[in-house]
A and B are shown apart, each in its own frame.
Chain A
């Protein structure tokens, strides 16, 4: 039976895995990887993780066809396909001098060469005074990089916020600062030690970005039906996209972007179901025209039972074109903020084997299937998919060894340029 489940998980369908109880648990569906202060016994705590990886991409490490001279180059393909780590960084974005317009992820610059990578050294500090319902959290990440433009090492203040929980009788909290997204569910696995596999989905770029602003979370338990309802809303400078696409640090238009998620969860002894619907609306923060808006809706679902975890997410997003010159991203500046639309989603299935010893604390196998259909205004649709097959072994609950194979594809009959851009990547994550 178990082997049957494993085979189903690995081969039979597009799949996804949710972090099982045997692995690292995401603390709170409303807060992403923000720590649960109720577990902290000390006023000041330091935690973190180290993620060391290895990756090898096929082709030249990019998603650009060598004979493609269309302008901009990044409008006709998906430059995010060759991800190598949990940050969503890709093997390469080297366009060979061809013009791109700011639709690019961050790159580790290895091209198609196999290389070890120090993906992330993440250091967290949290402060919780015992007499005040206040919690302060900051996460600094060290990211050593060497790309074609030289040393691009960064130190990133990924999160920094204060959270007030004014009513001890209510699950209600207000956060101010830079915090995780509230859209969908994938932001819960932004960090390498929490993500059961290694790389984010093809739509993670739209939903998992940190935001600077104000956030409120409320959850109402319904014990009579073993359920709970939650509401998570935020007003941020940037919305929910990752910083490589949209600046986080300042507002370029002077108006906030609203986002939120309504969630339902059913918590039985052996079965857990979580459902949610999300939305975002506001001005695009990658340009200066307040009339150019971004909007998206999404739905998500998770089902966990007997070691099997199924999860999925669907999003439809569209941007209005800017009427003003210039485009600004967290990486670069572009010429024009074009109209854009994307429809995409993923589904993941994983199985965690019930094997557990003092050393071996978890073995998980699974797969995820992604599909993305996107179009910049006036350009052709780019239709791609990806099958990710992965495995993870946890030792002492503190060391995770992960490996996965990404098979990126262009859907036939959809006029998408074929590119050789598959990736093998592995990662060892130590958590303290």
Chain B
């Protein structure tokens, strides 16, 4: 009441109605942690916060029952969830490191990297990279433009620790590629199964390791994820990062709060499309979801510790084939269930909704392009 009176009296002097601008929401890895101030709600209605970052002794979605492997997180460090997905008809896996809503664009800051020589092909020295800002800065994003300088030493302790030291130094800077390189709390790890290999939760496909490396920001040590999948991990025009679509299935576009617990579909060549914009896709009434026969009952009746049944009531379908032959199709959406018949020609004749071009063929009324964008690290296949 007092505030209302204050506003009313103030408007005698002159005011404008507050602009109903869309609020900016930003989450980075350090914001995924569930705390007293950050409850285990869903980030922008898409991802339960507790599923993005799993604390020790927690269970990771899509790992363990009702599927394969052990989803139990051991050790003392929290881990980022490795999510299954499909892209270009293949099963892939990724981690989410940053989420935005209504963000105009991800910012691209310079990152200063010491190289032996950048004339032909830059060879990075052991000197730690230097970031100009820390996580939490309003213009932070995991995208950086490499700025090379020829280092005089490979001593990791002999390099620069602040951007200002680089800029004040005598080195000539040379712009390099765009880099996806999320800063993370130094105790965060990616999920490592018991054999210490990074793998797909359904296919057990092994992926190359993702290094936790140390850099410097404002003279403070910072940890970052080095995906080792090469540079130019997102298309860009200058320093404007261009997003691609990440298709999330939902029961209805009228109820966007809870996307279905199905792997999303990413753009073709997902490794080089790390900035994604969420496109909600309404599951067509004729669509079905494939599950290996050995898992059908377990999946359809699975209950999470919070009492929810993520796959109950979904049109799950299976085929009587050896599990090893069909694991890669787990939770993959398809349109014509006749392909599951004995002579149906599974899987080639199935109309799989597992690649971007197929989803774009659906009527536009089945798709909703959201204001939610995310930075993802798609795991590269181990050599």
Contacts and interface: CB of A to CB of B under 8 A. Distances in A.
Interface of A: 65, 67-72, 75-76, 101, 176, 212-214, 235, 237, 250-256, 288-290, 321, 323-326, 335-336, 338-339, 376-380, 415-418
Given A65-B167, A290-B18, A417-B167, A378 B135 contact: yes
Interface string B13-29: 11111110111100000
A336 B21 contact: no
What are the 5 tightest A-B residue pairs by CB atom distance, in nearest-first order?
A378-B137, A251-B15, A338-B138, A415-B164, A415-B162
A96 to B, nearest CB: 14
Contacts of B24: 323-325, 336
A71 B145 CA distance: 11
Contacts of B69: none
A379 B218 contact: yes
B7 interface: yes
Contacts of A325: 21-24, 102-104
B277 to A, nearest CB: 17
Interface in B1-37: 6-7, 10-11, 13-19, 21-24
A380 B162 contact: yes
B139 A68 contact: no
Contacts of B219: 415
A324 B23 contact: yes
5 contacts: A69-B175, A213-B13, A237-B15, A326-B21, A417-B164
Contact of A415 (B109, B137, B218): B218
Contact of A324 (B22, B135, B140, B175): B22
A254 B21 CA distance: 14
A247 B39 CA distance: 37
B23 A76 contact: no
Contact of A338 (B18, B22, B139): B139
B138 A214 contact: no
A205 to B, nearest CB: 20
A69 B140 contact: no
A400 B264 CA distance: 73
Given A212-B14, A254-B11, A380 B22 contact: no
B345 interface: no
B175 to A, nearest CB: 8
B18 A256 contact: no
B14 A256 contact: no
B13 A339 contact: no
Contacts of B147: 69
B133 interface: yes
Given A65-B167, A255-B7, A418-B168, A378 B162 contact: no
B7 A378 contact: no
A323 B175 CA distance: 33
Contact of B137 (A65, A326, A379): A379
Nearest to A253: B18
Interface string B30-73: 00000000000000000000000000000000000000000000
A188 B147 CA distance: 47
Contacts of B13: 176, 212-214, 235, 237, 256
A416 to B, nearest CB: 6
Contacts, number: 123
A178 to B, nearest CB: 11
B104 A335 contact: yes
Interface in B168-183: 168, 173, 175
B165 interface: yes
Contacts of B215: none
Contacts of A67: 167, 173
Contact of B168 (A70, A290, A417): A417
Given A235-B13, A290-B18, A376-B137, 6 more contacts: A71-B108, A237-B14, A251-B15, A254-B17, A288-B21, A415-B165
Given A213-B13, A415-B165, A378 B102 contact: no
A76 B140 CA distance: 14
A250 B164 contact: no
Contacts of A212: 13-14
A323 B11 CA distance: 24
B173 A71 contact: no
A288 B136 contact: no
B132 interface: yes
B21 A324 contact: yes
B134 interface: yes
A338 B19 CA distance: 18
Contacts of A326: 19, 21
B270 to A, nearest CB: 26
Given A252-B19, A254-B16, A380-B162, A76 B136 contact: no
B91 interface: no
Contacts of A176: 13
A289 B23 CA distance: 9
Contact of A378 (B6, B17, B133, B167): B133
Nearest to B105: A335
Interface in B327-372: none
B107 interface: yes
B163 A380 contact: yes
Nearest to B140: A378
A338 B145 CA distance: 22
B40 to A, nearest CB: 21
A256 to B, nearest CB: 5
B110 interface: yes
B148 to A, nearest CB: 12
A254 B10 contact: yes
Nearest to B147: A69
Interface string B236-256: 000000000000000000000
Nearest to A236: B13
A237 B15 CA distance: 8
Contacts of B164: 76, 380, 415-417
Contact of A71 (B17, B109, B162): B109
Contacts of A335: 104, 139
Contacts of B6: 255-256
A69 B133 CA distance: 12
A175 to B, nearest CB: 12
Interface string B124-142: 0000000011111111100
A326 B147 CA distance: 29
A252 B15 CA distance: 7
Nearest to A251: B15
